[in-house]
Amino acid sequence: MKGSHVPLNYHPEKLKRELKPFYIGADDKDITEMLKTLGLSNLEDLYAHIDDSVKMMTVPMDKHMSYEELIAHVNDVAAKNKQKISFLGDGLPQYKVTDVVGPVCDIRGLTTAYTPYQPERSQGTLQTLWIYQSLISQLTGFEAINASLYDRSTCLYEAMNCALRLVKDSTTIVVANTLYPGDLEVLETHARETEMKIVRAPVSAQTGKLDIDALKRILNTTPQIAAVAFPQVNNLGNIEAVDEIVDLCSTNNIKSIAVVDPMLLGKGGLKAPVKFGTRLQGADMVVAEGQHLAIGPNFGGPGLGIFGIRYNEQDKISIRSTAGRFVGKAQDLKGRECKALILSTREQHIRREKATSNICSNQSFVATIAGASMLARGDEGFEETLKTARAHAEKAVEALTSFEGVELKFKGSAFFNEFTLKLPVNTKEFISKATKEGFQVGVDVSNRHTEITGENLLLISFSDIHTDKHIDSLIAFFGKEFQKTKNGTAAPKIQSVMLQIDAPEIPKHSTKEIIEYYQRLGKQNLSPDDGIYPLGSCTMKYNPYINDYAASLPGFTNIHPEAPVEDAQGCLEILFEIQEQFKAITGLPGVVTQGVAGAQGELIGLKMFQAYHRDRGEGDQRNVLIIPRSAHGTNPATATMAGYQTKVVDGQVYGIYTVEALPNGEMNLNQIKEFLKTDGHRVAGVMVTNPNTAGIFETQFKEMSALIHAVGGLVYMDGANMNAIAGILDLNKLGVDAVHNNLHKTWTIPHGGGGPGDAIVGVSHRLLDFIPGVQIVKKDGMFDITRAPKSCGSFHRHFGNFAHKIRAYTYIKALGADGVRKMSQVAVLSARYLHQRLAKSFPCLPAEANSNPRMHEFILTLSPETFKKVEASGTPKANTIARIGKLFLDFGFHAPTVAFPEQFGLMIEPTETYSKKELDQFSGVVETILKLVTEHPEVLKTVPHFTPIDRVDEVAANKNPVFAEKIGKHLPDIIPDRVDNEKLRNSTPADLCEHILKTHQNSL
């Protein structure tokens, strides 16, 4: 290995799963034995029930790389990026990353755990999110902060939708043109073909701030306005007249949505949004990008969408209309204080098409490290950071405007640490010269506003990453280009009404203290490292360390998404290659890399469908989407978000048309055929998960696609279950037009306790022209950026969760053509083997589908007799499955997916990560659980028994929700495990049964 490569910070040989070929747990002997048990002779036989006409025989991809080759390769790609002194900011500023970030990112219990739906075994994640919510609450003053949304732009869109729900009979949101252009494009893309109308409020050419008179005119003349969305610091660096804007909203009885930079709300910074308005009445909602609180620019992602809403004596209702997860204070049945997810009856998994949003995976782990970083900074750290940024900006503005022809563009408008200069030369050429001299000198904003034209404008941003030397060298660079002829302009004074009123009182903790605290929290969760994490549909497989290593290379993390393409060749290579990888894997000719989660991938797909139909003049006519009843909640929620409102008018269905399942577990194709006969001309498309959520392959998928295409519709495949079919099935042959690949499932990026996810969307030739965002092309050995000719817009300001693309890319390079196929095959083999074993003792669902082979997952249930026994012992049938899920926690495992897609089902997905021995042991545990429930059903009343807390009283937590506490020097208490989780795994199931029974007796 070359000496210049960044050393690994772990020992792969000491890790149980890191060096296994293709990260597959079963060795050849295991595979042979499992095949034999199933009566199969080879891995191909697992797919014998699927028609060969839809298969791919090889994946058109290179051979896999060895571990050593991979380390060298990712370092080489990272080295192709040029790290320069950067003054880019433009809504994604770069600040120092605190010392706690690296170590917290290494806590596998936090990075690899699933969304904390089982609070008794997820207090670790819940506490980190609680700290995040509480600290952001302290910074902004808002009482309720959610546990994160994707990024600023989509978060703002959710806030705008929330406003429409809150203001009766409203249709319109006024959006300041002084928000970042990339954000504005995302808003327009989302709003197209929905009921939301966006009216843009212009900038004033004189002040470089929102034109307040124009805003007043809009408010006076536009009907049905719900809200005004505006920034505190705008896209020219100027501080907006936030008090006036909020006053106008209050007077007009509409909502104010403030978009802020959370860093600038630290001690010594700008006024908190809760105090905006001359009466300090505060904005109604706050939205922000928080990526830079936690991590470097990472070529634009993962971001962190911060959202907050008021929750106080005057308003306890608005929160019910918001999007996203909230962590709340809760108590367990014994009165121990703990945390749990609350208000989930607004969310897609419960409310489906009536949900307030389609969001499922969020940016949980970025929120976790943002919380840890805020503790590391504390008020003092924030103050120091802001002083440094401000001092650099003050020094630079005065020095740079002393050069001939260089002016501060908006002399009367205050800024904090970012300002717009007018240059005497073409800005693009100036930036290009600076690039050659080692600077990313700023962003060209000459054409940002139609009201301000014909000038050469440069937006420059300063922060604590800059040293005095950097500022001096910037000034020296200007000195080489221009003559020093005048006295410079001093930074305009920031009016006191714009400045902070009270410090947020963020406590500062030592690096050691924070790391130890988060490590203890990590132990309260489970990780797929330790053993089977059987959550069906979630593909909780091993997340290789080398992926994180690659993503953490400074050559990647320090690159700003607006860096000139010649400085970002390494990042662009990753994006180009991942496009190629997913073309090979899906068999489809196009790839979109913007999606940051499965649900967003779905939305991207549907928005492309709409653009396609619009282009053919059928935009209005195609108003129905066909979706099976067993679909994940995100599918119907996404359909609504895209603009397919479900209703029945004069007996005709609009929006979602629901398809039922056949007894064999597959969708009812005849029902679809009947519908197409009468309504085919109205069908925009279908959304079908394949293999479906019962783990069954839809063998009639190809036929269905042909029928849908014949009536002019399009086919969306929910690819959450690609782990069963990647490299085996050709989605082009299946007739798929769009499919999302959840990188946080099949493609091994860590789930992060709820996110960030990522979704790469494959598209057919029909949709190539409508691809949103940018595409990376290779010309003369260089990577460049282009856009599709009829692009449907943009879903991310940049390239999605870029750091996750590196992880998936690294994984796929480790698999190569053979590995991708084998991964899927062994995932199916493991599931089918386990299913066969467990089907001997458990009834399976769907009840009449026993002869239909399972793919990557399967659903168990109880016999009617067992349900009756349990009910007789005092646990109602409706609660039984959830309680059995909690019994898994007593054996050291995570619960399977409970009550989805079958109300009385336990869905188990083992993945390919585990050896036969581990599968056998797990199978033994599941059988023991059945025996225990059959012989002692009463234990379900007190489950779980060994987690830090007893069962959580979620009803009480939802009644009087509490979203934050004042975090001080004493961090929230951590309740220890009653029995160490590792000890549970190392105990025999029989011993544990005994222990459970004793504990049950004692707790009565």
Ligand X SMILES: Cc1ncc(COP(=O)(O)O)c(C=O)c1O
> Which residues contribute to the site for ligand X (CB under 6 A)?
360-361, 537-538, 597-599, 632, 634, 689, 693, 718, 720, 742, 757
Residue closer to ligand X (CB basis): 81 or 689:
689
Which residue spans within 569-641 are E strands per DSSP? 590-592, 624-628
Residue closer to ligand X (CB basis): 297 or 536:
536
Cβ atoms of 737 and 767 within 8 Å: the answer is: yes
Residue closer to ligand X (CB basis): 524 or 539:
539
Q: Got the DSSP string for 820-855?
A: HHHHHHHHHHHHHHHHHHHTTTS-EESTT-TTSPB-
Gap between the Cα atoms of 946 and 977, Å rounded: 7
225: left (phi over 0), alpha (psi -120 to 50) or beta: beta
Question: To the nearest whole angstrom, how small is the minimum distance from the Cβ of residue 605 to ligand X?
Answer: 11
Burial class (CB in 10 A: 0-12, 13-18, 19+), 461: buried
Residue closer to ligand X (CB basis): 406 or 627:
627
Residue closer to ligand X (CB basis): 274 or 599:
599
Question: To the nearest whole angstrom, how small is the minimum distance from the Cβ of residue 155 to ligand X?
Answer: 15
Residue closer to ligand X (CB basis): 553 or 726:
726
Residue closer to ligand X (CB basis): 178 or 630:
630
Could you tell me which of 524, 262, 464, 285 has the C-alpha nearest to residue 371? 262
Q: 55 pairs with which residues across the strands?
A: 729
Query: Cβ contacts of residue 815 below 8 Å, gap of 6+?
Result: 22, 64, 822, 823
Strands 782-787 and 774-779 turn out to be antiparallel
Query: Looking at residue 661, what DSSP letter applies?
Result: B
Burial class (CB in 10 A: 0-12, 13-18, 19+), 961: middle
Question: To the nearest whole angstrom, how small is the minimum distance from the Cβ of residue 719 to ligand X?
Answer: 8
Residue closer to ligand X (CB basis): 346 or 395:
346
Residue closer to ligand X (CB basis): 676 or 860:
860
Residue closer to ligand X (CB basis): 523 or 744:
744
Gap between the Cα atoms of 94 and 101, Å rounded: 15
Residue closer to ligand X (CB basis): 813 or 856:
856
Question: To the nearest whole angstrom, how small is the minimum distance from the Cβ of residue 691 to ligand X?
Answer: 10
Helix (H, G, I), strand (E, B) or coil at 789: coil
Residue number, nearest CB to ligand X: 598
Question: To the nearest whole angstrom, how small is the minimum distance from the Cβ of residue 121 to ligand X?
Answer: 18
Question: To the nearest whole angstrom, how small is the minimum distance from the Cβ of residue 2 to ligand X?
Answer: 37
Residue closer to ligand X (CB basis): 134 or 634:
634
Residue closer to ligand X (CB basis): 116 or 269:
116
Question: To the nearest whole angstrom, how small is the minimum distance from the Cβ of residue 743 to ligand X?
Answer: 9
Question: To the nearest whole angstrom, how small is the minimum distance from the Cβ of residue 596 to ligand X?
Answer: 8
Question: To the nearest whole angstrom, how small is the minimum distance from the Cβ of residue 832 to ligand X?
Answer: 19
Gap between the Cα atoms of 330 and 346, Å rounded: 18
Tokens of 600: 């967003």
Question: To the nearest whole angstrom, how small is the minimum distance from the Cβ of residue 595 to ligand X?
Answer: 9
Residue closer to ligand X (CB basis): 208 or 605:
605
Question: To the nearest whole angstrom, how small is the minimum distance from the Cβ of residue 740 to ligand X?
Answer: 8
Cα first-last separation, the chain: 61
Q: Virtual CA dihedral for 877, 882, 885, 890, nearest 10 degrees?
A: -90
Question: To the nearest whole angstrom, how small is the minimum distance from the Cβ of residue 604 to ligand X?
Answer: 12
Question: To the nearest whole angstrom, how small is the minimum distance from the Cβ of residue 805 to ligand X?
Answer: 15
Burial class (CB in 10 A: 0-12, 13-18, 19+), 357: buried
- Look-up of token digits 């000038």: 455
Question: To the nearest whole angstrom, how small is the minimum distance from the Cβ of residue 713 to ligand X?
Answer: 20
Which residue spans within 719-765 are E strands per DSSP? 738-742, 759-763
Question: To the nearest whole angstrom, how small is the minimum distance from the Cβ of residue 819 to ligand X?
Answer: 23
Residue closer to ligand X (CB basis): 570 or 598:
598
Question: To the nearest whole angstrom, how small is the minimum distance from the Cβ of residue 758 to ligand X?
Answer: 8
Tokens of 113: 């755990």
Residue closer to ligand X (CB basis): 637 or 714:
637
Q: Interior CA angle at 952 toward 948 and 953, to 5°?
A: 155
Question: To the nearest whole angstrom, how small is the minimum distance from the Cβ of residue 114 to ligand X?
Answer: 9
Cβ atoms of 891 and 922 within 8 Å: the answer is: no
- What's the full length of the chain, in residues? 1004
Question: To the nearest whole angstrom, how small is the minimum distance from the Cβ of residue 894 to ligand X?
Answer: 14
Q: 858 pairs with which residues across the strands?
A: 908
Query: Looking at residue 497, what DSSP letter applies?
Result: G
Cβ atoms of 383 and 266 within 8 Å: the answer is: yes
Gap between the Cα atoms of 132 and 145, Å rounded: 9
Gap between the Cα atoms of 987 and 118, Å rounded: 22
Gap between the Cα atoms of 348 and 579, Å rounded: 29
Tokens of 195: 């009921």
Residue closer to ligand X (CB basis): 740 or 1000:
740
Query: Cβ contacts of residue 246 below 8 Å, gap of 6+?
Result: 256, 258, 276, 277, 281, 282, 283
Burial class (CB in 10 A: 0-12, 13-18, 19+), 620: exposed
Q: Interior CA angle at 76 toward 71 and 79, to 5°?
A: 125
* 908-to-761, 779, 853, 870 alpha-carbon distances in Å: 26, 46, 15, 22
Residue closer to ligand X (CB basis): 298 or 635:
635
